[in-house]
Amino acid sequence: MSQGRSADCEVVVLGAGPYGLSAATYLKAKGVDVRIFGRPMAFWADKMPAGMLLRSPRVASNISDPAHRTTLDAFETSARVPPRAPVPLETFVEYGRWFQRQMLPGLDQREIASVNRNDNGFTVALEEGEVLHSRRVVIAGGIGPFQRLPPEFASLPPSQLSHCYQGCDVKAFPGRRVAVIGAGQSALECAALLHEAGAKVEVIAKIQELRWIGQHPWLHRLGPISSTCWFPMASSAAQKRHSHDGTLRHFCNSGRTRGGIDAG
């Protein structure tokens, strides 16, 4: 913001996923002049595979608001959606959009082109050319920008290679051979959904262990918050076997869940 220029708002929130929506709601409740930009739940709606089930239990799948009234239960009651556990992706997406309509009806879906720091705050430029001046900026852009493709696969065309953060229409792969590279929950989730859709899936990993959240011993020493963790491996969500050459193969059954940060 140039010297002497008043701010258009106190805070700009970039991103309209669960964290961005919740942050803006809390700021608004405190009387802060806040503007939030983004398409509500866009990453979850556009980049997550259809049929996905949330890893988190229902109690940990609420989008927080100060009054605790826009809960997942409240949405399901309002929309007449039968409660399910684990929570289906489609339910969570619609829940987030309902949350936005209830708490942040003034959300702006225009895209942000750039954010620049200056002496008195930030200049936020929209793609269409408008410029806003804000004293603070909250970045809630999600994990999409952090996808990494190993250089060994750089020569493959998009028709033969995709990252799990780019979205995947698993119904387009029945009868086709698909290799999933990685040993984390994102890899296992994609493999399970592809397998259920009729693809011939092989999971390939350079390590001999799964990176499944329930297998980390430190998670069981979290005290009271450990009750919010759901460990689907305890219910035999996946079966595994090793091939003769040491390749790790997984043929997952019904315990398909979102693993958080991509490990593949």
* 37-50 pLDDT per residue, tens: 999 999 999 988 88
Q: Which helix (H) or strand (E) holds 229?
A: none
Residue 248 clears pLDDT 80, i.e. is over it? no
For 172-229, write each residue's pLDDT tens digit: 889 999 999 888 878 888 888 899 989 999 988 888 777 666 555 655 565 554 444 4
Single pTM value for the model: 0.75
Q: Phi/psi at 173 (nearest 5 deg)? A: -120, 15
Q: d(Cα 164, Cα 146) in Å, to the nearest integer?
A: 11
Domains and CATH numbers, the chain: 9-142 (3.50.50.60), 147-252 (no CATH)
Structure tokens at 146: 């952090």
Residues 220, 226: contact at Cβ < 8 Å? yes
The full length of the chain comes to 264
Residues 204, 150: contact at Cβ < 8 Å? no
Dihedral (Cα; 159, 161, 162, 164), 10-degree rounding: 140
For 10-29, write each residue's pLDDT tens digit: 999 999 999 999 999 999 99
Res. 125 pLDDT band, cuts 50 70 90? very high
